[in-house]
Structure 1
Amino acid sequence: MKHDVLQGTVDRLKNREKLGLFALNVIGIKDGGEKCKLLLSDTKDQIKCTVGREPTLFFKQRNGEKGCTLVISKYQLVKTSSETEVLNILGIDDVFVPGSVQKKSSQQGQENIENGGVEKCSEEPAAGEGIQAPQKNERFDTSGMVKISDLNPYTKEQCFVARVVRKSGIKHWENQKEQCFVARVVRKSGIKHWENQKGSGKLFDVAVRDETGEIRITGFKEDVDTFHGVLVSGNVYVFSNINVKLTEHRGASGEFSNMYSGVFSKNSNIKTFEGDTRNIPGIGFNFQSIKEIEKANERDMVDVLGVVESVGEVGRIVIKSTMREMEKKEIIIADSSGLSIVVTLWSDAMPFVSENDVGCVVAFKGVRVSNYGGVRLGTVFDMTVIIVNPDLPEAKELRTWYAGPEGRSGRRMSLSSGGSRKRRHEDAGKADILCLLEQTSGVYEVACFLADIRSEKISYQSCPKENCKKKVLEEGVGVYRCEKCNEEYDHCAYRYILNVVLSDHTEQCFVTFFDEEANALLGVSAESLEDMRKSSEDEYKAFLKTKMNQDLSVVVSCKFDEYNGENRWRGVAERSEKLDYASEAKRLLDELLF
């Protein structure tokens, strides 16, 4: 007997409700041999899971894969050292793989597609002519339609009603199935062009919304010409024959609230919907306070509401991978949590906030979290929505707070400054290295010893200008060029990029020490050490050897990076100091006693 995946299951688990048999969708798998880790979803929320040996064996025997449905019979909810809640799966009742389930078609939905008069605008407009708007659908039968929350990539010929929220880029798709729905356009991207060894092309995408959720739809190549000029933000349309795929998403933003996304195909049709659209909402926000964002993981997507306190000047940087120059502008926003944060507005988002908006409330939907020099936020091209002075209840409350004594004249700490970094170090969870290597992100304090220093490359040539750490290009004898500053210098500065091996009783790992932390570790500048290496290689290696086997307490920021198509663990030292044996012994004793 197959169990349905019910929205709200993850919330019930986190609220410690006792559940019997329940089903969740598998949207991510990390195979660890005898055990595995899963990312499960109830189509609304996600939860990370660890699977024991016997359930893992059962899962593999049933050919469990990404996209299947898992029926869980026995579980335990545990908290990690970073306070993240993880589901420990102890028993699996059944595994339903999509490929093994007979797909059924909806005759009523098929009749709607054939007889509903949903026509595809396939002809391109003649030169000088505007794009013809889609035909109106005055008597469209919506009885066969489903809601966005009911969409899945394994059932053909479904229909639903929704509002288009935005357009943006998706480059891969799988498990394509035909779909039909009605949607309101809330946001629409521009056309993106790409070119690689396989050829060139273009794409765009939109996000659609109804009262149950959101979904994104992408168009490629000829579908860009067919649909991009037809769709208008805010209007409601009937979409049919949309391919739905399972997609991984991250972050708490409503922008990524649906585990599925759609792709236009050659059979896709669009028609204007004429009916009662009052129940089809526009853009939705899932605001987090700045205090909550402090605990978010790097690269999470969040929605935030804040008062603009300052607007910086326009700056320019050169993207190393493409050598393309981009403009950016940094603003500072604050909210009633008593904290402020820097938001970087990249080129396309810069016009939305100006110096005249200081003191105004601004809503951001879909900004990315980064931990560069503290916690910061940044807009994402063709994805972030910015609304100045939104007509929202939360915005009115924030204006009232800012007008009071704790608002405009109140003192607050910035998450994007060193103060936030110090707080992160104080709140860092204790971990051994084996536990550290299992973490996907976070900041942890490790008691260890310095087992090795990689002496091959310990520093790089950087820009000598103050507050610029960019690597310079050597363009001739004694000529160094900084692409960020767009200037040439007759000398350069050496900065550490020191790779070391840390070890304890459980495991060892590679950690990178950058300039400030490496200076504190070695007690000598990168410039002096490079001079020593040039004068005597033996003296240089002997010096590094004297620094090994130190007992240290190191605060490590860890995350997974993608490298050559594979995920790899990366650790960066944020602070290191001599191990305090007395405090470490007391901590270990407390762990034994309690």
Structure 2
Amino acid sequence: MLEDKFDQLKEISDIPSYNARPFDYATTGEAHKENTPGYETSRSVDPVSTINKEPTELKRKQPTDRSLMAIELLSSYQNNWAIKARVSFKSDVKTWSNQRGSGSLFNVHFLDETGEIRATAFNDACTKFSELLQEGKVYRVSKARLKQANHKFSTLKHSYEIQLENDTQIEECIGDDQQGNVPQVKYDLVRLDTLKTKEVLPNNQLGGELDVLGIVRKIDTPFQITSKAGKTYDRRNITIVDDSLTAINVNLWNKAALEFNIPVGSVVVCKSCKLNEFRGRNLSMTPGGRIVESPDLKEAYKLKGWYDDVGKNASFENISDEGGNAQAGLNNDDVDLSKRTTANKLINENIGMNDTPEYITLKGYIGKIKNQNFFYEACATPDCLKKVTNIGDGYSCEKCEKTHETCLKRYTLNMQLIDPYDSIWVSCFNDPAEKLLGHTAEELSNDPKLADEVISEKSMDVYNFKLRAAKREYGGVERANYSIIGVSKVNFNKEVDYVSDLLLKL
């Protein structure tokens, strides 16, 4: 009988099975060792004695955080999950009220070493967690709901977002558990000079979000703008620079604009900026963005050292203003004579017909300046500057939907530039035009005789011009449009030295 059972078990043991369990030779053969010949050299197993008997070595040690997952792996396919992450951003609590009712919400960004995800809490959950979750601290989060991310509201790349609910469990990590492998903040830094081209942008499209590192060079006073819907926003512009000798304006909004107090000369990271093109390229802080002062980064220490030694007295190209900042746009020291182009090269090589603007320097003579319509009446709202309509008792701005008692006079010159090879027509807006003519548009618009004298005196004067070449459509036909963003007098000593060097190389 025993031999028959042994044969049956042997046949079964030859069939692979996920439920098969290993025998423990040290225990199952112990009771029968006195009946087993050659036990000292070969331990045998009594199959009958092992039936319905639990092996003693099968207990496995489970990890303490069995459900802990990396943020990048979160998806709707997981039910029992938890994350350990740092709050890298926390919004203010917002309230709403409409025909459907009222409520409140806030959102945070959770960050771990693999990625970042957005989490939102509504109403009761908002009240429960708005004080608990603090920016910069690390938490364990579980029993929350995952859903597809709505990228209309979320600026993060993750395909999902978290909805915090009343039964969601959130525990703050303290002590050594506070740090662990959770990074402080992740930055994907982009140099300022690369913002001139689309290749740096997500999908090569304007409006993508970027992180930039720079030195605060200039801080403007805050002002208000009004949307077409009549809503008022607080805004402040700051200018940052880096060691590529590039400057760009960063637009701050509302609370961030009013409370900005970082001094000039400080190193900052502008995280989650939106890159736009309006009279040049500029950065705008998104609702989920923030400015970090003196970040603990190797690149930040290097940039600060460069600025203290060299950058304080350097000249920068500001790529944010099509009209150009005359001082930042072009100085004599900025002109690289070997990289200047010519008028015929602009025309023959279709410079300016690419999808992105191009910036070139040209030495040319002023041929003719049209003295008709050389200025326009602009909106008095700071940073609007759109053309206004004179309605008799004031000036109406269609963009701001406001009427002002006064307006601003701003240059919009059309002028011809001539060099030994060809000529081109260019536009010259307010700041470089003021530097060129030595008078404001307000002064010349009120004195036509003075305007004629100043404009005629400029004929055949020679300058170095920095031009922005961009594609425009006129009457259904695309062509290159050139506008002056910087102007400086020609340094003839520098010109002679340059020509001498070329002759010596022949």
CA distance in 2, matches of 1:515, 1:246: 49
1:392 partnered with 2:300: no
1:345 partnered with 2:268: no
More strand by share: 1
Match of 2:105 among 183, 200, 203: 203
SS of alignment partner, residue 357 of structure 1: coil
More helix by share: 2
Match of 1:301 among 204, 209, 217: 209
1:357 partnered with 2:263: yes
| CA deviation vs aligned residue, 1:184-214 (integer Å, no higher than 9, x gap) | xxxx111112334444332110111112111
| CA deviation vs aligned residue, 1:46-75 (integer Å, no higher than 9, x gap) | xxxxxxxxxxxxxxxxxxxxxxxxxxxxxx
Query: What residue in structure 1 maps to residue 241 of structure 2?
Result: 334
Q: Is the contact between residue 236 and residue 258 of structure 2 (CA under 8 Å) also seen in structure 1?
A: no
Summarize the alignment of residues 347-496 of structure 1 with structure 2, pairs less than 5 Å apart.
347-350=254-257, 353-354=260-261, 357-381=263-287, 383-405=288-310, 407-418=311-322, 442-443=355-356, 463=378, 468-470=384-386, 478-482=393-397, 488-489=404-405
Structure 1 letter corresponding to 2:65: T
Give the number of the structure whose alpha-carbon radius of gyration is greater: 2
Summarize the alignment of residues 52-91 of structure 1 with structure 2, pairs less than 5 Å apart.
none
Query: What residue in structure 1 maps to residue 173 of structure 2?
Result: 273
SS of alignment partner, residue 280 of structure 2: coil
The structure-2 alpha-carbon separation of the partners of 1:413 and 1:426, relative to structure 1 and needing over 3 Å to count, comes to farther
CA distance in 1, matches of 2:94, 2:285: 17
CA distance in 1, matches of 2:160, 2:82: 15
Q: Is the contact between residue 205 and residue 217 of structure 1 (CA under 8 Å) also seen in structure 2?
A: yes
Deviation at 1:386, TM superposition (A): 1.2
Q: Is the contact between residue 365 and residue 386 of structure 1 (CA under 8 Å) also seen in structure 2?
A: yes
Structure 2 letter corresponding to 1:262: I
CA distance in 1, matches of 2:147, 2:320: 37
Structure 2 letter corresponding to 1:147: A
Aligned residues: 317
The structure-2 alpha-carbon separation of the partners of 1:334 and 1:515, relative to structure 1 and needing over 3 Å to count, comes to closer
Deviation at 1:426, TM superposition (A): 7.5
Deviation at 1:484, TM superposition (A): 5.0
1:245 partnered with 2:147: yes
SS of alignment partner, residue 302 of structure 2: helix
Q: Is the contact between residue 106 and residue 126 of structure 2 (CA under 8 Å) also seen in structure 1?
A: yes
Deviation at 1:443, TM superposition (A): 3.8
Query: What residue in structure 2 maps to residue 261 of structure 1?
Result: 161
Match of 1:189 among 91, 95, 103: 91
The structure-2 alpha-carbon separation of the partners of 1:576 and 1:419, relative to structure 1 and needing over 3 Å to count, comes to closer
The structure-2 alpha-carbon separation of the partners of 1:336 and 1:462, relative to structure 1 and needing over 3 Å to count, comes to same
| TM-score between the two structures when normalised by the length of structure 2 | 0.53
The structure-2 alpha-carbon separation of the partners of 1:336 and 1:572, relative to structure 1 and needing over 3 Å to count, comes to farther
Structure 1 letter corresponding to 2:305: T
CA distance in 1, matches of 2:408, 2:192: 39
Query: What residue in structure 1 maps to residue 79 of structure 2?
Result: 156
CA distance in 2, matches of 1:429, 1:268: 55
CA distance in 2, matches of 1:235, 1:554: 47
Structure 2 letter corresponding to 1:379: M
Unaligned runs of 5+ in 1: 1-139, 167-187, 431-441, 446-460, 497-513, 517-552, 558-570, 578-594
Structure 2 letter corresponding to 1:410: A
Unaligned runs of 5+ in 2: 1-62, 330-340, 359-375, 413-426, 430-468, 483-506
CA distance in 2, matches of 1:234, 1:490: 48
Question: What percentage of aligned pairs have identical amino acids?
Answer: 27
1:312 partnered with 2:213: no
| CA deviation vs aligned residue, 1:478-524 (integer Å, no higher than 9, x gap) | 5544585965349999xx9xxxxxxxxxxxxxxxxx999xxxxxxxx
Structure 1 letter corresponding to 2:213: L
Q: Which protein has greater RCO, CA pairs closer than 8 Å, 6+ apart? A: 2
Q: Is the contact between residue 194 and residue 201 of structure 1 (CA under 8 Å) also seen in structure 2?
A: yes
CA distance in 2, matches of 1:347, 1:236: 28
SS of alignment partner, residue 394 of structure 1: helix
The structure-2 alpha-carbon separation of the partners of 1:358 and 1:249, relative to structure 1 and needing over 3 Å to count, comes to same
The structure-2 alpha-carbon separation of the partners of 1:300 and 1:491, relative to structure 1 and needing over 3 Å to count, comes to closer
1:233 partnered with 2:135: yes
Query: What residue in structure 2 maps to residue 86 of structure 1?
Result: none
CA distance in 2, matches of 1:492, 1:397: 43
Superposition RMSD in Å: 4.3
Moved more, 461-470 or 153-162: 461-470
| TM-score between the two structures when normalised by the length of structure 1 | 0.46
